[in-house]
Amino acid sequence: MESTMVITSLSRRQFLKGALAGSALFAAGFTGIPSMLHAMPLQPESSPFKLPPLPYADDALTPYISARTIGFHYGKHHQGYIDKINGLIQGTEFAKDPLEEIIRKTAGHPDNLAIFNNAAQAWNHAFYWKSMRPGGGGIPLGKVAQRIDVSFGSFENFTNEFTKAAATLFGSGWTWLVEDGKDLKIIQTNNADNPLRNRQKPLLTIDVWEHAYYLDYQNARNDYIAAFLDHLANWDFAAENLDRA
């Protein structure tokens, strides 16, 4: 009861903040910066794909994610997926497709597993970097907060469910907040898999492959998940995704 009341009173304050943020975004749409709202193909161009710029400095997420982790994770792993997908699709029917099209066409086709894995990992990582920001985390604002309350009952329930999903994912993979029809859902995907193949709209993701947290947290995945939720989650990005067609 008590926690519900706390969240309700926070939501009321945040409604006002959210309304201000919303009008700022609305205004941005009329001043030539609409791409933030309509950038759903994160990488609309066809191959050769380029490593998308990191949305912040490599040390901007410290102390929760170190520059060293970013150096390997972004500079080596993400770059590696980009290099591999470019090599794999050269001269194939996929050479002119945007990344998301390649993912949709190859999902569930064992003959194209390597192409799917590398295309999906290239996409997932671009989405993951945007799912975090310096000074992020905590309770979301406005529409995202309302949708979470409707689908999970409370932000506290959401946090518990998200933490459990990310913590119990066996092996390598991802945990996502997605929009599925009228509901928001938390889903786990293994290895490179992502929600696009199920026509779910990704809103936010956490990478729970060991390479995402091992340098900073070793085997303490729970501490990494807590840091993501408390200090990193980019709820503005989740809201932008919710608004996308």
Residues that bind Mn ion (CB under 5 A): 207, 209, 212
State whether residue 123 is helix, strand or coil: helix
Q: How far is the CB of 156 from Mn ion (least distance, A)?
A: 28
Measured distance CA(20)–CA(166) in Å, rounded: 32
User: How deeply is 156 buried, as exposed, middle or buried, from its count of CB atoms within 10 A (0-12, 13-18, 19+)?
Assistant: middle
Nearer to Mn ion, 142 or 195 (CB): 195
> How far is CA 209 from its chain centroid?
14
Structure tokens at 77: 């792993």
Partner residues linked to 58 by β-bridges: none
Structure tokens at 132: 């975090």
Q: How far is the CB of 207 from Mn ion (least distance, A)?
A: 4
Nearer to Mn ion, 149 or 207 (CB): 207
Q: How far is the CB of 78 from Mn ion (least distance, A)?
A: 7
Nearer to Mn ion, 94 or 209 (CB): 209
Cα angle 98, 32, 82 (rounded to 5 degrees) comes to: 25
Nearer to Mn ion, 209 or 224 (CB): 209
Nearer to Mn ion, 88 or 212 (CB): 212
Q: How far is the CB of 208 from Mn ion (least distance, A)?
A: 9
Q: Which residue is nearest to Mn ion (CB)?
A: 207
Phi, psi for 32 (deg, rounded to 5)? 85, 20
Q: How far is the CB of 81 from Mn ion (least distance, A)?
A: 9
